[in-house]
């Protein structure tokens, strides 16, 4: 699978923020409707949802429109889906590379697709909804871990998973986020400080959630309990990533509702790299999974 490089990820995020600055729309939450209107792009709900499709980019000559799914009743996810389609529109080259079936391009947003152009669109969408400058201010005044992620989500109206990835890329604390479904890892992102722990292993896609973790306990509950789950506790970081150093970590677990997934946030509160601030490294922190969109 072709991966989006760290440099490319940063470029996409900066491109999104420059676009907002140029259009005088650099305020939170970002007004996606106003941005779309500057290019004559209409945004509408999909009349009939298609399984696994988060949104569509419609093309008729030089005229474009966006349809987004309401199958998942979550405003943050829907906004990310719209931003993803805007990514396909604004990123140079996407309109020539992504497939259109009868003038319709179908997307799967929110970091679930392995397609290179979908991954690019996801990174652009994250930068569009959560531009660097205002989001850094939110992180600096918010608690660490899940509390900080939720603060980013609430002020940007982004999806919780997108906010988590953005947070991990911008914090100077040792934080990792894992999204899992049915007890199996979908993807994992680590902050730069977390990645610096000696000897840790990457948590790869399609591996089982480690045993004796709060996350594993959550997946052992009923489906209804999983959707509404919230649990927290202390764990040794080696339970998740191995390594040569035993470090206490907070494990926070929250169900993602009808999305059918669970978000895990691991925070080593005693570790911090005061010299590490990668303003857009959220793009650089992906493993072998991510979904994307285009210009």
- Convert the pLDDT of each residue in 144-171 to its tens digit: 999 999 999 999 999 999 999 999 999 9
> Average pLDDT over the chain, rounded to whole?
88
**Residue 112's pLDDT band (cuts 50, 70, 90):** low
Predicted local distance difference test score (pLDDT) of residue 229: 87
Query: What does the alpha-carbon distance between residue 244 and residue 250 come to, in Å, rounded to a whole number?
Result: 18
Mean pLDDT of 260-284: 67
Percent of the chain with pLDDT over 70: 91
Mapping DSSP onto H, E and C, the string for the chain reads CCCCCHHHHHHHHHHHHHHHHHCCCCCCCCCHHHHHHCCCCEEEECCCCCCCCCEEEEEECCEEEEEECCCCCCHHHHHHHHHHHHHHHHCCCHHHHCCCCCCEEEECCCCCCCCHHHHHHHHHHHHHHCCHHHHHHHHHHCCCCHHHHHHHHHHHCCCHHHHHHHHHHHCCEEEEEEEEECCEEEEEEECHHHHCCCCECCCCCCCECCCCCHHHHHHCCCHHHHHCCEEEEEEECHHHHECCCCCEEEEEEEECHHHCCEEEEEEEEEEECCCCCCCCHHHHHCCCCCCCCCC
Query: What does the alpha-carbon distance between residue 248 and residue 245 come to, in Å, rounded to a whole number?
Result: 10
**Residue 226's pLDDT band (cuts 50, 70, 90):** confident
Predicted local distance difference test score (pLDDT) of residue 272: 61
Predicted local distance difference test score (pLDDT) of residue 290: 39
Cis peptide before 29 (omega within 30 of 0): yes
Mean pLDDT of 264-281: 66
Structural domains of the chain in order of their starting residue, each with its CATH number = 6-130 (1.10.10.2910), 172-289 (3.30.450)
Percent of the chain with pLDDT over 90: 69
Predicted local distance difference test score (pLDDT) of residue 99: 94
Mean pLDDT of 66-81: 92
Predicted local distance difference test score (pLDDT) of residue 271: 78
Cβ-count burial of 201 within 10 angstroms (0-12 exposed, 13-18 middle, 19+ buried)?
exposed
pLDDT at 177 over 70: yes
**Residue 114's pLDDT band (cuts 50, 70, 90):** confident
Q: What's this model's pTM, rounded to 2 decimal places? A: 0.84
pLDDT at 23 over 90: yes
98: nearest Cα among 77, 124, 133, 132: 124
Q: Which of 18-32, 119-133, 154-168, 223-237 has the lowest mean pLDDT?
A: 223-237
Predicted local distance difference test score (pLDDT) of residue 127: 95
Q: Which two tokens stand for residue 227?
A: 């959707």
pLDDT at 276 over 50: no
Query: What does the alpha-carbon distance between residue 283 and residue 122 come to, in Å, rounded to a whole number?
Result: 10
pLDDT at 224 over 90: no
């Amino acid at each position: 699978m072709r991966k989006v490089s760290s440099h490319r990820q940063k470029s996409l995020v900066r491109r999104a923020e420059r676009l907002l600055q140029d259009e005088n729309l650099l305020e939170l939450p970002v007004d996606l409707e106003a941005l779309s209107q500057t290019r004559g792009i209409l945004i509408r709900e999909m009349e009939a949802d298609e399984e696994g499709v988060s949104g569509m980019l419609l093309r008729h000559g030089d005229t474009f429109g966006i349809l987004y799914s309401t199958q998942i009743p979550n405003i943050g996810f829907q906004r990310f889906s719209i931003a993803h389609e805007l990514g396909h529109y604004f990123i140079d080259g996407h309109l020539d590379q992504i497939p259109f079936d009868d003038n319709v391009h179908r997307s799967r947003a929110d970091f679930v697709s392995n397609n290179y152009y979908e991954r690019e669109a996801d990174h652009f969408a994250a930068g569009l909804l959560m531009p660097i400058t205002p989001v850094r201010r939110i992180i600096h005044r918010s608690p660490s871990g899940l509390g900080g992620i939720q603060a980013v989500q609430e002020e940007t109206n982004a999806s919780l998973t997108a906010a988590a990835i953005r947070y991990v890329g911008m914090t100077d604390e040792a934080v990792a986020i894992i999204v899992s479904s049915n007890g199996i890892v979908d993807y994992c992102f680590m902050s730069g400080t977390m990645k610096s722990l000696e000897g840790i292993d990457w948590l790869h896609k399609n591996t089982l959630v480690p045993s004796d973790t709060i996350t594993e306990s959550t997946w052992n509950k009923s489906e209804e309990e999983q959707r509404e789950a919230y649990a927290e506790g202390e764990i040794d970081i080696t339970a998740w990533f191995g390594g040569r150093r035993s470090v206490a970590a907070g494990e926070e677990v929250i169900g993602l509702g009808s999305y059918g997934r669970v978000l895990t946030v691991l925070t080593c509160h005693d570790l911090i790299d005061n010299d590490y601030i990668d303003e857009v490294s959220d793009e650089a922190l992906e493993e072998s999974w991510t979904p994307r969109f285009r210009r």
